[in-house]
Amino acid sequence: MADGANLSLFALRFQTYNNKVDKDILMRARKIIHIIIINNRCRKLFFGKSANLQQQQQILQDGYFGKAANIHQVHFQLKNSKYLAPAQELSDEICSTGTKQTYPPKQKLHKSNQWEDENGCASLQKQPLHNLDLLIMAFEEKVKIRSYDGRTDRGRVEDLERRCEVGPAQSVLLFTDTMGDPICRIRNSPLFKMLVAELNNELVGVIQGSIKMVTLATPTRDPAVVGYVLGLRVSPFHRRKGIGSSLVRRLEEWFLSNHVHFAYMATEKDNEASVKLFTEKLGFVKFRTPSILVNPVHYHSLRISRGVEIAKLKMEEAEYLYRRFMGSTDFFPHDIDRILKNKLSLGTWVAYPRGESWSELRCDGRLPTSWAMMSVWNSGDLFKLRVAKAPLSCHIYSKSSRLIDRIFPCLSIPALPDVFHPFGFYFMYGLHGEGPRSGALVRSLCRFVHNMATECKDCKVIVTEVGGCDGLRPEIPHWKLLSCPEDLWCIKALRKEDENTLLGLTKIPTRGLFVDPREV
């Protein structure tokens, strides 16, 4: 207990001496000191209070650098890390606190450009790393980041996802079931990668990324190669150790090796931890605030206006219309043909006033006076969703409203589907309209997709994402309770020559936005 008290006093003294150190560093420092206290007690348990310095150092070496086969391996590990010398000095100081042993001061070796400025003089501004900071770096240096291996990592990634499902007791959480395929959300992208982080053979973090070529509102209008960052997860027991930022930076290195111009990510606007990580620490800037609109699927079909005609387009027709009318939209994918040909894309439909013929497109390229189009992606075949920690009132309303909707559909009571068990959803993408009646035609298309979803047992909701100022947004039926009015997209230029282009992108008035269904 005496050593533990002395160690606590040492922590207090260190904190007082370094009162200008970042609070985040101090918090992690306390955790490191706590680990050292435990190691110190273990030392006394195995060796007694008379343990000599060599035994103490061996305990610390085994604790921080793994069990070595012999002392030569330990010396090799110590020799090849630039952080271990000052870290070991601090460890010796901590382990000797409260004892009567004294050690002669060690001669300090001169290393150029480590603590001195160009003139060889010590600079306070170039000495932010104290001994305890270096000890933290030595601790974090053990994190290994590598590519995902489906043969050995699949089960461990799923276990990490379950551990990351823990949240505040009052929060309603949305869980994702990848159905045994952790990379299902990026598998359909042109180029993708998943990285995992290991600490002491434990998988403590994952991240995913994909690469594609898109249209951006740049002055040159040249195609841009963009990398999408998604699926960042860090074990709750290993957060605030720099693992998340290390994963993002390693993914950015992969982006650069594949000639990516910009990296971007999407998160909830009120997710302060995620926003601070990317904008304050990793250099991302806020780019767009699109809206995620969610509408439940009811038991009964919805009526579609008799004055509207709906037809399914051939893939070639859909590709032609998308390139012609949405080719200049931000983030429009240049491989739109691959998206439309994907088995998860259920098709593209067009709505136009009854009495006009859409077949005219095949003859001379003429279009009706008003028309609207959209495509549907079956995300439920990739992964399932589940809502947890919902209040009891939500469960009661869900069951009662569905029962009333089934027995008395004429009452038109809004029924909340069973979202408390794994369910699938349809994603509407590529929404576009032309002409004075385009808004009403979009509403008819949304009803048409709803009626399609009633025939799919697992489909409980219909989702779409549109730009925050998209003119069609008010025409899309959705529940405010289930929707997210302001999602947040952040973007970062990975090359210096693209920084001016990025500045122009963030200053341009909000334009249309094409949301790739492969990245939902």
* CATH code: domain of residue 347: 3.40.630.30
pTM, 2 dp: 0.72
Q: Does 369 lie in the same domain as 298?
A: yes
In a domain, 514, yes or no: no
pLDDT value at residue 399? 86
pLDDT value at residue 401? 83
Question: Which residue in 130, 123, 202 sits closest to 163, CA to CA?
Answer: 202
Q: Does 341 lie in the same domain as 269?
A: no
pLDDT value at residue 442? 97
In a domain, 302, yes or no: yes
Q: Does 179 lie in the same domain as 124?
A: no
Q: Does 362 lie in the same domain as 259?
A: no
Take residue 127 and report the two structure tokens written for it.
């000495």
pLDDT value at residue 122? 39
Take residue 169 and report the two structure tokens written for it.
């007791």
Which residues of the chain fall below pLDDT 50?
A: 1-22, 37-38, 41-87, 90-91, 93-129, 169, 363
Question: Which residue in 222, 227, 285 sits closest to 259, CA to CA?
Answer: 227
Structural domains in the chain (count): 3
Under 8 Å between Cβ of 482 and 423 = no
Q: Which residues of 357-369 are buried (b: 16+ CB within 10 A; e: fewer)?
A: ebeebeeeeebbe
11 membership: H or E segment, kind and range: helix 2-17
Q: Does 381 lie in the same domain as 311?
A: yes
In a domain, 513, yes or no: no
Question: Which residue in 47, 44, 63 sits closest to 2, CA to CA?
Answer: 44
pLDDT value at residue 135? 52
Question: Which residue in 520, 370, 372 sits closest to 446, CA to CA?
Answer: 372
pLDDT value at residue 163? 86
In a domain, 517, yes or no: no
Question: Which residue in 470, 468, 486, 491 sits closest to 287, CA to CA?
Answer: 491
Under 8 Å between Cβ of 126 and 116 = yes
Take residue 452 and report the two structure tokens written for it.
């399609």
In a domain, 511, yes or no: no
In a domain, 63, yes or no: yes
For residue 441, what are the domain limits?
A: 293-485
In a domain, 518, yes or no: no
pLDDT value at residue 174? 79
Q: Does 307 lie in the same domain as 263?
A: no
Q: Does 120 lie in the same domain as 183?
A: no
Under 8 Å between Cβ of 266 and 445 = no
In a domain, 500, yes or no: no
Query: Residue written as tokens 């269904």?
Result: 517
Under 8 Å between Cβ of 241 and 140 = yes
Q: Does 409 lie in the same domain as 299?
A: yes
pLDDT value at residue 246? 96
Question: Considering 283, 305, 325, which residue would you say is the last residue of a domain?
Answer: 283
